[in-house]
Amino acid sequence: MNYSEAMDYLEELNVFGMSLGLDRIKRLLDLMGNPQNTYKTIHITGTNGKGSVTCMVTEVLKKAGIKVGMYTSPHLDSYTERVVINGDEISREKLAAAITVVRDLCDFMVGEGDEHPTQFEVLTAAAFYLFSKEQVEYAVIEVGLGGLLDSTNVITPEVSVITNVSFEHADKCGGTLEGIARHKAGIIKPGVPAVTGAEGQALDIIRQAAADNKAAIYVAGQDFDARPVKPLGQLSIPPNLGNTSVGNMSPSMIDLQIEALSTLPYGRCESEGAATRTQLVEFTSRNDQMASLDYKLSLLGLHQVSNSALAAAAVMLLAVNDLRITQRALKQAMANVKWPGRFEVIPRDGFELIIDGAHNPAGIKTLRESLDYYYPDQQRIFVLGILRDKDFEGMLEILLRPEDRVIFTTPSSERAADPVELLECTKVEAKEAIGDPAKALERGQELAGSDTILVCTGSLYLIGYLRTLLK
């Protein structure tokens, strides 16, 4: 198959829908010679942040000089985004060739009386095949949904990461927060260390799963932590550090802040906007498997500080057995990592536009916190599209302030909520519904000015389409 034919084949597989379970993928991979066993893996799940953590871990390994693959989902623009090797998306030709191999084996399975693998299983098998064929040393694998019964859960990783747990995909993962936590804890393997940012009841369940598997577990906020430190200019501290008190900052953090300030004229740090800022992060370890250190983080958003802590903890555990993974590689990676569609700031003519893939209450909460942190005084215009099977009333209540302006639109999905229905669910006065996302974006840009930010969010389906319009 060529690429176009391969994409048509994938779309045809939607007829099989979503069917959790490992029997089909195990059978398919057996027929392929189990390519997933030819390289080391890191497995990452969680309600929010798993894609960002996957990207960060991958970038650290790349900076360490290691050939590394990355598997994520969903994509924003092209299926080739899902399979990345050493920072480069897989070519259309190679992806099509891999899907052709998988398709032929799927046909064989059906001929033998087996169920046909789902679309996600085909993509997962193709990714595992490509990583083996391209001879990667490590592959960083993001879970598609849940963990326990997800198609990716056929690997035995070096480290397992569970970012957090909140009430998402409950119908597929047990119907309760406890059920969701058990599904995500399902990626923990015997003797394999685990890292998590989970809290409360979910953390209790994850701890028990780790104990049952005799797996060491490292918990954010307990075994390690990270906090953002604003650049000195943002704190209104004069640039003359010789006469300035910097509290308990470490010497390396002071050096990082001086470096950050060198790229921003003093007195303009506030007005330059988030597009020109690099987050400064202080990582603190409370165990002998990890080191305390400071680093610059190129991804904005308070949630990315937490995500970076999980990624840093994971790679430090990898470094115990792989001396190529150094603090220098970690710092270089964090300063250069890019993850499109996650608090992505795009400077426009006279204002800043933010693209964010928040699509559930937990994600919306972190977006709101980041907006309040970086843009406390600017007026906010939202282009907002949400899927109808989400808690959109809760999302709107968390995100919108009475003084905000919102343009509701329709994500490119059959599950999209009616923008007119969303209009009726918010008390914000300045609101309108424009079904066409392109026209909604155009309207938002017309309204934006120097004292405003334009935020596009609510669904990955929406922001993926809007990013293509903005290229």
Looking at every residue in the chain, the average pLDDT score rounds to: 88
Which has more confidence, 192 or 256? Answer: 192
String of DSSP letters for 241-284: GGG---TT--HHHHHHHHHHHTTS-TT-TTTT-GGG--EEEEEE
Q: Is 146 helix (H, G, I), strand (E, B) or coil?
A: coil
The stretch 198-222 carries a mean pLDDT of 97
Shared domain check, 183 and 235 = no
194 and 288 both lie in a single domain: no
The answer to whether residue 257 scores a pLDDT higher than 60 is no
**Whether 212 and 122 share a structural domain:** yes
Peptide bond before 437: cis, by omega within 30 degrees of 0? no
The amino acid present at 450, given as its one-letter code, is S
pLDDT-based confidence at residue 156 (cuts at 50, 70, 90): very high
309 and 355 both lie in a single domain = no
Straight-line distance from the first to the last Cα atom of the chain, in angstroms, rounded to the nearest whole number: 29
Residue appearing with tokens 């309207």: 443
Segments forming the whole domain that contains residue 296: 224-336
CATH number for 202: 3.40.1190.10
**361 and 332, same structural domain?**
no
Decide which of 259 and 163 is more confident: 163
Per-residue pLDDT, 172: 54
**Averaged over 29-38, what is the pLDDT?**
98
Same domain, 16 and 85: yes
The pLDDT value recorded for residue 413 is 83
Q: CB–CB of 383/469 below 8 Å?
A: no
Going from the C-alpha of 460 to that of each of 74, 229, 280, 302, 412, the distances in angstroms are 8, 29, 27, 19, 10
Residues 307 and 400 in one domain: no
- Does the pLDDT at position 247 exceed 60? no
Domain finish residue from 167, 186, 219: 219
pTM: 0.84
The predicted model gives 317-335 an average pLDDT of: 97
Given a contact cutoff of 8 angstroms between Cβ atoms, the answer to whether 332 and 63 are in contact is: yes
pLDDT per position as a tens digit, 412-429 = 888 899 999 999 889 899
Place of tokens 């987050």: 279
Alpha helices in 156-236 (DSSP H): 177-185, 200-212
Q: Are residues 287 and 303 in the same domain?
A: yes
Whether residues 186 and 77 share a domain: the answer is yes
Residue 64 — very low, low, confident or very high, per pLDDT cuts 50/70/90?
Answer: very high
Domain closes at, from 310, 336, 362: 336
268 and 389 assigned to the same domain: no
User: Does pLDDT of 122 surpass 60?
Assistant: yes
Structural domains of the chain, count: 3
Give the residue from 336, 352, 386 where a domain finishes: 336
Pair (261, 121) in one structural domain: no
Regarding whether 329 and 391 lie in a shared domain, the answer is no
Does residue 273 register a pLDDT over 80? no
Section 45-71 average pLDDT: 97
pLDDT value of residue 318: 98
- Which CATH number goes with the domain that contains 395? 3.90.190.20
Q: Which residues contact 441 (CB under 8 A, 6 or more apart)?
A: 383, 456, 466, 469, 470
Which residues does 215 contact at the CB level (< 8 Å), separation at least 6?
A: 160, 188, 189, 190, 191, 192, 193, 194, 209
Provide φ and ψ at 280, rounded to 5°: -110, 125
Share of the chain above pLDDT 90, in %: 72
